[in-house]
Structure 1
Amino acid sequence: MAKLYFFYASMNAGKSTTLLQADFNYRERGMATMLWTAALDGRGVDSAIESRIGLGADAYRFDGDTDLWDRVSAAHAVEPLACVLIDEAQFLSPGQVWQCARLADEANIPVLCYGLRTDFRGELFPGSAVLLGIADALVELKAVCHCGRKATMNLRVDESGGAVRRGAQTEIGGNERYVALCRRHFREALAR
């Protein structure tokens, strides 16, 4: 029986790299996969999914109106899919997460979701909250704080490196906008 997986971590833990490695492993064995990423993350220049270490791959892009059940089922009817891999899964709507569960349960396609657990305020993203609640397997990937502890938080910073305390939950950015920290250093940065 196929499962719904949620691989989660803070920024810079290698989520996209891990996804691309899993995709490579399936394809190397002659198995078809389908990759997805959030349409709102348009940072990729050459590929829809890009890792900081230079790996990349093309992918379909989802937004709030994308019916993943319909789109994946249609592709699966043409060529059987061994796996569906979703990057930036925190941006899935709760309904889309349930569609992913249906793909695993009814279409028997493993669905591997990779994303952030919490935002820059330490609050769950709606998609991540549902994934944490219903995924068959939860896997935490590790990032490292500057102190050497496990980084679990995503601090949003301004142009001068100061902590940002308010703003929209979603603001796309990389190392110039976010720093992965342990909870202690996250709290200290917000207290300054």
Structure 2
Amino acid sequence: MAQLYYRYSTMNAGKSIEVIKVAYNYEERDKRALVLTSALDNRYEIGKVTSRIGLEKEAIIIEDNTNILSVFLLENNKQKIDCVIIDECQFLKKHHVEELIEIVDSCNVPVLCYGLKNDFKNELFEGSYWLLVYADKIEEIKTICWCGRKATTNARVINGKIVKDGDQIQIGGNELYVPLCRKHYNDGTIKK
């Protein structure tokens, strides 16, 4: 029986490399993985899942008005899809998550979602919220703070200082965000 998986972590935990790895594992066994990613993620190239270590994978982009179920059905009619894999799932809207549920429940195809759970203010993204509500399996991909503790937050850093105000979505990588443990996020310590 297919399930909806939500695998989350902070920045720099290897989520995109997991997406690429899982897709590769399916394809290596002559199975088709439908890979999707947010149109908002423009750090590298739109329409590609790109890891910081340089690996990349073509992906269909998801915009706010994209109907993922329709995309799935169209692609499945061309060639059977065995798995749906989504990178940057924190940017999904409620209707996207509902469409993913339909793929799992009506089409019996597993859906694996990878993304952040909380933003730089330590608040849930819309996609994260609905995935926490509906996912059959929720798994944390762990990474560490500079101090060695488990990182649980994504601190936005501007001019060497943590900022906790601003728009929820500001696309950036290591130049803008750093994964921190709760203690160092709360006390504002970026590094010793």
TM-score strictly above 0.5:
yes
2:19 is aligned with 1:19: yes
* Structure 1 runs, 4 residues or longer, greater than 2 Å off: none
Name the structure 2 match of 1:187: 186
TM-score, length-normalised on structure 2? 0.96
The residue type paired with residue 128 of structure 1 is: S
Deviates more, 1:69-78 or 1:79-88: 69-78
Contact in 2 for aligned 1:4/1:112 (Cα 8 Å): yes
Contact in 2 for aligned 1:8/1:116 (Cα 8 Å): yes
Name the structure 2 match of 1:142: 142
Q: CA RMSD for the aligned pairs? A: 1.2
Deviates more, 1:85-94 or 1:43-52: 43-52
Deviates more, 1:43-52 or 1:110-119: 43-52
Name the structure 1 match of 2:115: 115
SS of 2:123's partner is: coil
The residue type paired with residue 51 of structure 1 is: S
Contact in 2 for aligned 1:89/1:115 (Cα 8 Å): yes
Mapping of 1:1-192 within 5 angstroms?
Answer: 1-45=1-45, 48-158=48-158, 160-189=159-188
Deviates more, 1:36-45 or 1:134-143: 36-45
Pairwise CA distance, 1:35: 0.6
Pairwise CA distance, 1:46: 8.5
The residue type paired with residue 187 of structure 1 is: N
Sequence identity of aligned pairs in percent?
A: 44
Contact in 1 for aligned 2:47/2:61 (Cα 8 Å): no
Contact in 2 for aligned 1:47/1:56 (Cα 8 Å): no
SS of 2:6's partner is: strand
CA distance in 1, matches of 2:76, 2:94: 23
CA distance in 2, matches of 1:181, 1:42: 23
CA distance in 1, matches of 2:180, 2:27: 35
Contact in 1 for aligned 2:47/2:60 (Cα 8 Å): no
What per-residue deviation string (whole Å, max 9, x for no partner) do you get for residues 105-154 of structure 1?
A: 00111110000000000000011001011101001001110110110100
Contact in 1 for aligned 2:38/2:88 (Cα 8 Å): yes
Pairwise CA distance, 1:45: 3.7
Indicate how the Cα distance of structure 1 residues 145 and 89 shifts in structure 2: closer, same or farther if over 3 A, else same: same
The residue type paired with residue 41 of structure 1 is: D
> Can you give the 5+ residue segments of structure 1 that lack an aligned partner in the other structure?
none
TM-score, length-normalised on structure 1? 0.96
